[in-house]
Amino acid sequence: MQTILSRSAATLVVLSMLTACGGGHTDAYNNNEPQQYPVLTLKPSETTLHMDYPATVRGQQNIEIRPKIDGYMAQIMVDEGATVKKGQLLFKINAPQYEQEVLTAQAAIKSAEAAVNTASMQVRKVTPLVKKEIVSNYELEAAELALQAREAELAQAKASLQNARVNLGYTAIYSPADGVIGTLPYKIGSLVAPNSDQPLTVLSDIANVHVYFSFTEKQLLDLAGTDANTSLDAKLKQLPPVQLVLANGSEYTENGKVETTGGLINSGTGAISMRAVFTNKAGLIRSGSSATIRISQPVSNALMVPAKATYEMQGKKFVFTVDTAGTVHSREITVGKLSAGDAYIVGNGLQAGDKIITDGIGSLKEGTKIKAVTPAATTAAR
């Protein structure tokens, strides 16, 4: 019985070995079959580079509205976010002391006018007496000097009235320009003063908006060129219109123009401040918002490789090419720092007509044999 069991076990072992060997032949056969990979033949084409720069938006004017006198907020004629016109009444301040100053100045004028009339009468009285030599000329000169003094007092009283009226006029605050009202930190009854920490509001003129961003020194030279015979302002005018990408990722419908540049390069950051202007008739863009400036640059005869077709090793970028025999080769390339969509523009390492593998490169190595197919054929096979 033991002999029969031993023979059965031996038979099972032999069958297992044969099965394993058979499976090995099948795998070896499959491994000898080249795997399909999508291959792209490079051709020169036209493309556009998009260079994006973080930016901040400011209104054409951001005006702090502050009172010129002390007083209590009596009326607020506008609401936050309201669009106002130049000369529109915004606030009224209760300052009764300035009304009293006007009344006092008016009374002082009446008193000064009476004094002038009295002094004038004295001059008219003394003048004929001097001519008849009844009194000395000294009396006439004294009367005339007294008249001049009273006239000076009248002029001073009128100036005080004018000053009082100006101060009283400061109790009504009008908009200095067209724009949009900001926050209103003070409510009716609040004490306000010229030296208060916060303004009554900030008026933003956003008919046009200024968008500020920065270039590095190299970016500025690359974009504007190094022609010493052309001024920087002239070079900036030659730049194409720029786009504004809003915070939600959508592009603003109006194009803008780079207008000016800062005069100094920041020695700490190596950046130079730039400004672009955009029209904002609909008031969609608000001062203080964040955005992105996009500068588009057309490129002709560009060789482009998909970003997913590249890989990096020790700080260098590579692609896999395939020759006519279907053998894979690793090739180092140089590309621009900016991508055109999801593709890189090749600087060196490839030329028109080269074939590169565009997908699945993680499983490849130098010398691998593949079957080159178009990307569409690969997708269909899967």
Which pLDDT value is given to residue 20? Answer: 44
Residue 185 and residue 89 share a domain: yes
Residue 94 and residue 174 share a domain: yes
Mean pLDDT estimate for the chain: 83
The angle at the Cα of 344, spanning 38 to 309, to the nearest 5 degrees, equals: 25
Residue 371 and residue 271 share a domain: no
Q: Is residue 13 part of a domain?
A: no
Name the pTM for this structure: 0.59
Residue 152 and residue 83 share a domain: yes
pLDDT bucket at 159, cuts 50 / 70 / 90? very high
Residues sharing a CB contact under 8 Å with residue 296, sequence separation 6 or more, in sequence order: 48, 49, 50, 51, 240, 242, 243
Which pLDDT value is given to residue 175? Answer: 94
Helix axes 96-131, 137-169, angle to 10 degrees: 160
Residue 310 and residue 277 share a domain: no
pLDDT bucket at 26, cuts 50 / 70 / 90? very low
Which pLDDT value is given to residue 268? Answer: 76
* Dihedral (CA of 38, 43, 49, 50) sign: negative
Residue 239 and residue 316 share a domain: no
pLDDT bucket at 340, cuts 50 / 70 / 90? low
pLDDT bucket at 184, cuts 50 / 70 / 90? very high
Residue 328 has pLDDT above 90, yes or no: yes
Beta bridge mates, 199: none
- Do 371 and 328 form a contact (C-beta atoms < 8 A)? no
Q: Tell me the one-letter amino acid at 278.
A: F
Which pLDDT value is given to residue 221? Answer: 73
Q: How far apart are the first and last CA of the chain?
A: 56
Residue 329 and residue 315 share a domain: yes
Which pLDDT value is given to residue 28? Answer: 39
CA distance 84 to 181: 7
Q: Which domain holds residue 340?
A: 35-46+301-381
Query: For the segment 90-143, what is each residue's pLDDT rounded down to a tens digit?
Result: 999 998 888 899 999 999 999 999 999 998 998 888 888 888 878 788 888 888
Most confident of the ranges 176-185, 217-226, 283-292 = 176-185
Q: What b-and-e string marks burial along 296-318, b requiring 16 or more CB atoms within 10 Å of the CB?
A: eeeeeebbbbbeebbeeeeeebb
CA distance 58 to 54: 14
Residue 172 and residue 110 share a domain: yes
CA distance 371 to 40: 13
Range with the poorest average pLDDT among 198-212, 316-330, 334-348, 354-368: 334-348
- Do 333 and 306 form a contact (C-beta atoms < 8 A)? no
Q: What b-and-e string marks burial along 113-129, b requiring 16 or more CB atoms within 10 Å of the CB?
A: bebbeebbebbeebeee
Q: Is residue 21 part of a domain?
A: no
- Do 342 and 319 form a contact (C-beta atoms < 8 A)? no
Residue 182 and residue 89 share a domain: yes
317 vs 264, more confident: 317
Residue 222 and residue 322 share a domain: no
Range with the poorest average pLDDT among 7-11, 343-347, 354-358: 7-11
Query: For the segment 230-275, what is each residue's pLDDT rounded down to a tens digit?
Result: 666 777 777 778 999 998 989 899 999 888 766 677 777 778 888 9
Give me the mean pLDDT over the 7-24 stretch.
43
Which pLDDT value is given to residue 54? Answer: 92
Q: Is residue 258 exposed (0-12), middle (13-18) or buried (19+ Cβ within 10 Å)?
A: buried
Task: Give the CA distances from residue 368 to residues 148, 357, 372, in Å, rounded to whole numbers and listed in that order.
Answer: 112, 12, 12
Which pLDDT value is given to residue 68? Answer: 92
The pairing of beta strand 35-41 with beta strand 370-373: parallel
The pairing of beta strand 89-94 with beta strand 179-181: unpaired
pLDDT bucket at 338, cuts 50 / 70 / 90? low
Q: Is residue 246 exposed (0-12), middle (13-18) or buried (19+ Cβ within 10 Å)?
A: middle
Beta bridge mates, 304: 345
Q: Is residue 104 part of a domain?
A: yes
Which pLDDT value is given to residue 378? Answer: 44
Contacts 24+ apart (CB under 8 A), 128-137: none
Residue 328 and residue 251 share a domain: no
